[in-house]
């Protein structure tokens, strides 16, 4: 059961698609105070567990820390970080009382979950203009399913998007892309996509191409497709200010950019230098910006990734002027005792400054809305612009689309990647823990930069991360300019990388099937063990293993130099290892705690008692997979319902898409 409480005059985010009438009275699970903004407070029992918050730090159980929904561009994903790129205001409290809360509020919102006071949950924000949804259910899993039905069907990508992709900031020319494609094809490592970061553009201008490096781009797209590789370009939020640049001139002429208070177009620097931001909260401007994607789809492009859409701000003219004035004051007195920290703080404070976010406006339903009041909706609506445009460009075709910044509701238009992580072992675990939390909020198509974006990846870290990435819907190796080249073929014993990526393709019919079931049935693709084994106290404590689909459990290795790891089995399971010679090793293990050996070039999984999964022969790209004669592994006599469609169109409910396979 869902109850909706209305406070003040909420901004209509369109996160919730179901019609839910407002309830009277006060929420039964806590107390609400409107004395100073909005504050919801409730007690937490000693053993209560708190799930949710999507793209958030630390554990699957969010208890014991403070989290802030405030979409933020930050590459420093350390344990003390309170805000990530997305804002996903949904939690489930499980224990003495079990209920869910969704706070539909588009600005900064703080979840203090036993941080200030260990037995108290508080949710606070500056203004009491919001919708509060309270969801009753028997279990956390039931509550999540109710929430998923409230917010609408999750985005469904084309099937090729489940293949492996390679990316790097720094691919500048056709030859760079040819080298990467050749490295994978020569070494017979499966690949379906190569991503184009900002260097493919002319001076970092959206919807342009560097004509010197990418002359006759449609022919180059065809050249890559002849190798069964799709190019996936990036689109950034800022539109460069430049006379003669068509997108800029159209936006200015038609008033499609965000405005300053005086009505002039807001100016902020990002990669191209000074830019304007498209007013994607304005439906007319959103349609205009979305239609620009056609400039690239007309040239054969079938997928995109949206970036810098928190929106990120490097600096503004006003910020530079103010900082310059203060720095000059500091250095007027050469004998003055000015600390380095003060100077550093001034310069660092130029980026993503709160004053800048409070100094520009959107136009919504004829009303002017200050950006900081709706800040968390920008990335959502930029990706929505693309999703709505794809419906106009080719309504029957699926396009690949994922974004860095997001809010609940964007899950209907695209997936997300988990942002600019590091080549750290701890970030494998962070990746794993975010996956089910994002699924709870509707984001099924997601994954992290395998190997880490920043810093230098070691061979063993990349192998372990790739072995986990086999199971994430988005499987992409991505790294930053200036870091070690980390394409799979760059490392010694390339056969180990080939084997791990081949396992992804061998399992792809199963992984795709489980993704589609989760999307079509408003379910989760990856779940905490506690959701499947709610009466098992030990399962509730496990945060480094996940249930995937209805058949398997995964337990990746995320520790340097480890030869294996400890696992907890809530029931008897088959321990399965995909061996480097192509064989599959299966061993039945009883319920309980076990240490299992897992070599660097092995991919492990566990199959639940009475279940089975299909495995096919590897292929070098998705369209070459043969699913007509698959091997069934797991428990003899068990059955599996395979979902399989053409992976391109939207005939999702065709009964022919499902067939029963038997082990």
Residue 331 has pLDDT above 90, yes or no: no
Residue 339 has pLDDT above 90, yes or no: no
- Helix (H) or strand (E) holding 176, with range, is helix 174-186
How far apart, in Å, are the Cα atoms of 606 and each of 377, 435, 575, 596, 603?
39, 18, 5, 11, 11
Find the Cα–Cα–Cα–Cα dihedral 593, 499, 451, 492, rounded to 10°.
120
Q: Which residues contact 589 (CB under 8 A, 6 or more apart)?
A: 569, 572, 573, 574, 575, 596, 606
Model pLDDT for residues 596-638, shown as the tens digit of each residue: 999 999 999 999 999 999 999 999 999 999 999 999 999 999 9
Model pLDDT for residues 380-416, shown as the tens digit of each residue: 999 999 999 999 999 999 999 999 999 999 999 999 9
Q: State the pLDDT at residue 348.
A: 83
The secondary structure of residue 422, as a DSSP letter, is B
How far apart, in Å, are the Cα atoms of 450 and each of 417, 462, 464, 557, 637?
11, 7, 9, 14, 37
Quick one: average pLDDT of 167-195?
A: 98
Altogether, the residues listed in the chain come to a count of 663
CA geometry: angle at 26 spanning 24 and 27, to 5°?
110
Helices 283-291 and 378-393: angle between axes, nearest 10 degrees: 60
Quote the percentage of the chain above a pLDDT of 70. 99
- Per-residue tokens: 397: 């075709």
Q: Which residues contact 387 (CB under 8 A, 6 or more apart)?
A: 155, 290, 401, 412, 413, 414
Q: State the pLDDT at residue 337.
A: 62
Residue 477 has pLDDT above 80, yes or no: yes
CA geometry: angle at 277 spanning 290 and 351, to 5°?
135
Separation of alpha carbons 537 and 107, rounded Å: 37
Separation of alpha carbons 55 and 411, rounded Å: 12
- Per-residue tokens: 573: 């399971």
Q: State the pLDDT at residue 336.
A: 59
Model pLDDT for residues 566-606, shown as the tens digit of each residue: 999 999 999 999 999 999 999 999 999 999 999 999 999 99
Residue 334 has pLDDT above 70, yes or no: no
Q: Which residues contact 311 (CB under 8 A, 6 or more apart)?
A: 237, 238, 268, 270, 277, 378, 379, 405
Residue 78 has pLDDT above 70, yes or no: yes
Tokens 């010679």 identify what position? 581
Q: Is 36 helix (H, G, I), strand (E, B) or coil?
A: coil
Quick one: average pLDDT of 300-311?
A: 98
Model pLDDT for residues 492-524, shown as the tens digit of each residue: 999 999 999 999 999 999 999 999 999 999 999
Separation of alpha carbons 376 and 105, rounded Å: 9
Tokens 């050749």 identify what position? 182
Please give the backbone phi and psi of residue 512, each rounded to the nearest 5 degrees, phi first.
-65, -45
Indicate the pLDDT class of residue 335, thresholds 50, 70 and 90: low
Model pLDDT for residues 417-462, shown as the tens digit of each residue: 999 999 999 999 999 999 999 999 999 999 999 999 999 999 999 9
Peptide bond into 311 cis (omega under 30): yes
Separation of alpha carbons 294 and 605, rounded Å: 41
Separation of alpha carbons 485 and 176, rounded Å: 12
Q: Which residues contact 548 (CB under 8 A, 6 or more apart)?
A: 471, 514, 525, 526, 527, 554
Pairing of strands 446-447, 415-417: parallel
Residue bearing the bigger pLDDT, 111 or 23: 111
Separation of alpha carbons 527 and 398, rounded Å: 26
Nearest to 373, CA basis, from 258, 288, 289 = 258
Model pLDDT for residues 318-330, shown as the tens digit of each residue: 999 988 887 777 7
Other CB atoms within a 10 A radius of the CB of residue 566 amount to 10
Average pLDDT, the chain: 96
Nearest to 230, CA basis, from 399, 445, 453, 405 = 399
Quick one: average pLDDT of 366-379?
A: 98
- Per-residue tokens: 651: 């005939």
First to last CA, the chain: 39
Nearest to 427, CA basis, from 457, 404, 402, 471 = 457
- Helix (H) or strand (E) holding 252, with range, is helix 246-254
- Per-residue tokens: 248: 């800029």
Q: Is 236 helix (H, G, I), strand (E, B) or coil?
A: strand
Model pLDDT for residues 55-72, shown as the tens digit of each residue: 999 999 999 999 999 999
Separation of alpha carbons 575 and 609, rounded Å: 11
Separation of alpha carbons 82 and 130, rounded Å: 22
Q: How is 78-127 classified by DSSP, letter by letter? A: -TT----SEE--EEEEESSS-EEEEEE-SS-EEEEESSSSTTEEEEEES-
Q: In what order do the strands lie in the sheet with 49-52?
A: 2-7, 130-136, 99-104, 90-94, 49-52
Helices 174-186 and 217-226: angle between axes, nearest 10 degrees: 0
pTM above 0.75, yes or no: yes
Nearest to 385, CA basis, from 398, 403, 370 = 403
Q: State the pLDDT at residue 329.
A: 75
Q: Which residues contact 295 (CB under 8 A, 6 or more apart)?
A: 207
Q: Is 23 helix (H, G, I), strand (E, B) or coil?
A: coil
Tokens 């400890």 identify what position? 566
Burial call 229-267: b when 16+ CB within 10 Å, e when fewer:
bbbbbbbbbbbbbbeebebbeebeeeebbbbeeeeebbb
- Per-residue tokens: 421: 């992580």
Indicate the pLDDT class of residue 200, thresholds 50, 70 and 90: very high
């Amino acid at each position: 059961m869902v109850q909706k409480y209305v406070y003040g005059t909420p901004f209509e985010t369109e996160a919730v698609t179901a019609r839910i009438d407002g309830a009277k009275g006060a929420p039964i699970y806590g107390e609400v105070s409107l004395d100073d903004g909005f504050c919801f407070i409730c007690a937490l029992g000693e053993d209560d567990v708190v799930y949710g918050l999507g793209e958030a730090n630390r554990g699957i159980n969010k208890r014991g820390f403070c989290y802030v929904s405030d979409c933020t561009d930050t590459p420093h994903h350390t344990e003390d970080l309170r805000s990530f790129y997305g804002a996903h205001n949904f939690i489930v409290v499980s224990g003495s009382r079990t209920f869910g809360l969704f706070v539909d509020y588009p600005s900064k919102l703080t979840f203090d979950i036993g941080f200030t006071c260990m037995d108290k949950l508080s949710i606070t924000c500056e203004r009491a203009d919001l919708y509060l949804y309270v969801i009753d259910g028997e279990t956390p899993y039931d509550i999540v399913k109710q929430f998923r039905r409230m917010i609408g069907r999750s985005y469904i990508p084309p099937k090729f998007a489940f293949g492996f992709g390679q990316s790097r900031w720094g691919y500048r020319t056709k030859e760079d892309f040819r080298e990467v494609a050749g490295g994978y094809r020569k070494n017979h490592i499966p690949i379906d996509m190569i991503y184009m970061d900002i260097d493919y553009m002319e001076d970092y201008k959206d919807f342009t191409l560097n004509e010197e490096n990418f002359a006759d781009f449609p022919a180059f797209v065809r050249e890559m497709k002849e190798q069964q590789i799709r190019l996936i370009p990036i689109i950034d939020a800022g539109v460069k200010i430049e006379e003669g640049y068509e997108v800029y001139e159209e936006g200015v002429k038609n008033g499609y950019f965000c405005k300053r208070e005086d009505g002039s177009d807001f100016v902020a620097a990002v990669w191209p230098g000074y830019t304007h931001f498209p007013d994607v909260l304005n439906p007319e401007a959103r349609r205009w910006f979305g239609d620009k994607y056609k400039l690239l789809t007309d040239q054969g492009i079938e997928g995109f990734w949206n970036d810098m859409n928190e929106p990120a701000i490097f600096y503004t003219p006003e910020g530079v002027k103010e900082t310059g004035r203060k720095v000059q004051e500091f250095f007027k007195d050469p004998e003055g005792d000015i600390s380095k920290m003060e100077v550093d703080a001034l310069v660092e404070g130029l980026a993503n400054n709160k004053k800048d976010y409070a100094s520009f406006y959107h136009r919504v339903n004829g009303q002017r809305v200050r950006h900081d009041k709706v800040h968390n909706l920008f990335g959502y609506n930029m990706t929505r612009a693309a999703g709505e445009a794809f419906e106009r460009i080719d309504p029957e075709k699926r396009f690949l689309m994922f974004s860095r910044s997001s809010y609940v509701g964007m899950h209907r238009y695209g997936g997300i990647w988990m942002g600019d992580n590091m080549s750290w072992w701890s970030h494998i675990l962070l990746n794993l823990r975010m996956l089910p939390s994002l699924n709870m909020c509707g984001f099924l198509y997601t994954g992290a930069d395998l190997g880490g974006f920043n810093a230098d990846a070691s061979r063993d870290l990349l192998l372990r991360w790739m072995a986990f990435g086999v199971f994430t819907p988005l499987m992409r190796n991505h790294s930053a300019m200036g870091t070690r080249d980390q394409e799979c073929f760059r490392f010694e014993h390339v056969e180990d990388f080939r084997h791990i990526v081949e396992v992804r393709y061998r399992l792809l019919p199963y992984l795709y099937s489980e993704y589609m079931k989760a999307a079509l049935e408003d379910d989760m693709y990856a779940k905490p063990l506690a959701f499947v084994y709610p009466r098992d106290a030990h399962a509730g404590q496990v945060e480094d293993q996940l249930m995937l689909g209805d058949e398997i459990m995964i337990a990746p290795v995320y520790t340097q130099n480890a030869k294996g790891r400890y696992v907890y089995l809530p029931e008897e399971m088959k321990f399965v290892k995909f061996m480097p010679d192509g064989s599959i090793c299966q061993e039945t293990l009883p319920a309980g705690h076990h240490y299992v050996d897992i070599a660097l070039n092995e991919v492990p999984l566990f199959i639940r008692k009475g279940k089975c999964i299909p495995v096919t022969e590897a292929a070098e790209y998705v369209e070459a997979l043969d699913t007509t004669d698959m091997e069934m592994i797991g428990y003899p006599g068990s059955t599996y319902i395979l979902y399989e469609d053409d992976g391109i169109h939207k005939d999702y409910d065709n009964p022919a898409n499902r067939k029963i396979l038997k082990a």
